[in-house]
Amino acid sequence: QGSRRMLERMEGDVPATLRGALEETAKQALRAGDIIRHLREFVTRGDTDKAPEDIKHLIEEAGALALVGSRERGVKSVFDFSDAGGLVLADRVQIQQVLVNLMRNAMEAMKDSYRKELTVRTRPTANGRMAVEVEDTGPGIADDIAPTLFQPFVTTKSNGMGIGLSISKRIIESHGGELTVARNHAGGATFAFSLPLLPEDGVEHD
């Protein structure tokens, strides 16, 4: 904000352009702070703020953040949404952070792959939930890592902290689901979780 005020005293097209960029930077910094606070409250107290949410909208918003630069990396993104509509009961900020984490992990896993395809898929389950899958065409998860992958400080990245999947697992469990990983037909990893679907009559009543 201080840099933006300094630019207000300057004239020309360049300062105007930079002012807009700095305003967006400030806005995103505040948003990041809100996400960190929200996740910190969850980690320390298990707090969630669940509400009816459109799962398609949640995924698209998360994808807009997670997939920045994906084309430059040669990653093809596919969103395969189920025709079955309905709302899920979810904490929007927390579930979007899980999605962002899974999508970014997938992109990182495919950095050395010849085929780079990221698929996010939704489908209703028989027990009244909406399953979400994030699938990549990377090398998959090594057998010796898979059993401990969701534990804190376990990571397959050279510069990773190993807390993203651990927190993601806790978030999904707080929504009554389970975060799992399996090798897919392409040899990559498919991370999956589910969220409770709201019955249509319940939505109309609300």
Q: Looking at residue 24, what is its pLDDT?
A: 84
Mean per-residue pLDDT for 40-68?
A: 84
How much is the pLDDT for 161? Answer: 42
Residue 192, pLDDT > 90, answer yes
| Cα 141 from Cα 105, distance rounded (Å) | 12
In whole angstroms, what is the distance from residue 53 CA to residue 39 CA? 19
Q: Would you state the structure tokens that stand for residue 3, as one six-digit string? A: 């840099």
Compute the distance between CA of residue 143 and CA of residue 145 in angstroms, rounded to an integer: 5
User: What residues pair up with 129 in beta bridges, in sequence order?
Assistant: 196
**Model pLDDT for residues 120-145, shown as the tens digit of each residue:** 999 999 899 999 999 999 988 777 67
* Distance in angstroms (rounded) separating the CA atoms of residues 168 and 149: 11
Residue range 100-107: average pLDDT?
Answer: 92
Give me the DSSP letters along 145-169.
TGGGTTSTT--SSTT--S-HHHHHH
Longest dimension (CA), the chain: 62
Mean per-residue pLDDT for 192-197?
Answer: 95
Q: What is the pTM of this model?
A: 0.73
What's the token pair of residue 188?
A: 């990559």
8 A C-beta contact, residue 171 and residue 98:
yes
